[in-house]
Amino acid sequence: MHETNGNSFSAAPKRRACKAAAALLLCCAALGCATPPGEILRANQNSPTWPAPPLEPRVVCLGQFVTADDLRPGKSFWQKLISTMFGARQPGALVTPQGLLLTASRELLVVDSAGRCIHRFGLDDRRYTQMPLNEVTQTPIGIAMDTQGRLYVTDPPASSIAVLDQEGKLLSRFSSERMLRPTGIAFSQSNSLLYVADTSGHRVLAFDLRGRVKLEFGGPGGHPGQFNYPTGLSVANGRIYVCDSFNFRVQIFDLAGEHIRSFGEEGNRPGNFSLPKAVAVDGAEHIWVVDARFENIQAFDSSGRLLMAFGEEGWEAGQFCLPGAIFIDSADRMFVSDSYNRRVQVFQLRPGDQ
């Protein structure tokens, strides 16, 4: 009698199953089988809003970015099978998000200080890429882009600004004996100058695109036009908005550095500040200020009158843990670096007189 191996009858079906699975995977790859990516940054009826009902909502939560998976890219059968068998990967995880920028091609750039890189989230194509900064900066903080697509990243410990192309290649570096610790940075298309908050120098410097200092204003103090550790700044509507952090106020200047007005003071009431860290202006010229200690965001009109506020300590939608940066795009979507929650939260600002 012919003897057979006791495993031969079970091995054959396994081989046939593996061949069938391989054929199916090849078919899916050839036909481009994938789950449609769906839409991101879209509100629904369950999206948190502020102020709370029954008041008319002015801020709507659209979502967040924690890893590259938050782009919700379409996944093929093969990718799903690998994920199921070996566990889901977490590519592009944010560590300490800081400076933010949305490019004309709708790519969200997130400076990661602890991760020493720039995360690139493609909002349209759902692609994620990363720009390493290990060899370029020590602790990257702020980011700006000029009209040619060059990136400018502040590096406070090195007292310099790294100039990069869109692939992350170092093109040059700005420094000045007058600049001690650059943090916030913004580009003005009106005069092609880069405005930089020199936090330890208690001043704002303006560079041309060759790295030459063209303007300087400020100095230590509490009088109008003086600073006490300025941090985030923004340029909009021909004006410069500066978070004068330890004077607990926001100061507004024209592009020549002439003081226009200031608003805010230290305190615990609405409209007061504890540590104003970042500022941005929406399409209606409302001024949105991130307060890292209050862990909230307050909105003011152009004269500095409080309109609304939202946020508190926590990790739910609309809650924060040491938020550090803000960016508002042309569609009035507000991106906030929720730094110690390791994420970027996204909100839609709705029109109205607030």
pLDDT in tens, 265-321: 999 999 999 999 999 999 999 999 999 999 999 999 999 999 999 999 999 999 999
Tally the C-alpha atoms within 13 A of residue 170's C-alpha that lie toward its C-beta: 14
What would the pLDDT profile of 149-161 be if each residue is shown by its tens digit? 999 999 999 999 9
What is the domain range of residue 258?
49-75+93-349
Its sign, for the CA torsion 269, 273, 275, 279, is: positive
Whether residue 9 is predicted with pLDDT greater than 50 in this model: the reply is: no
On whether residue 143 sits in a domain, the answer given is yes
On whether residue 286 sits in a domain, the answer given is yes
On whether residue 295 sits in a domain, the answer given is yes
On whether residue 83 sits in a domain, the answer given is no
In this prediction, residues 330-343 reach a mean pLDDT of 97
Contact between 277 and 291 under an 8 Å Cβ cutoff? The reply is yes
Give the tokens for residue 219.
């100095």
Q: Nearest 5°: phi and psi at 145?
A: -135, 140
pTM of the model: 0.86
What would the pLDDT profile of 239-249 be if each residue is shown by its tens digit? 999 999 999 99
On whether residue 42 sits in a domain, the answer given is no
Domain CATH for 100 = 2.120.10.30
Alpha-carbon span 337 to 96, nearest angstrom: 8
On whether residue 24 sits in a domain, the answer given is no
On whether residue 255 sits in a domain, the answer given is yes
On whether residue 234 sits in a domain, the answer given is yes
Q: For the chain, what is the domain count?
A: 1
pLDDT score of 23: 46
State the Cα angle at 162 between 160 and 169, rounded to 5°.
155
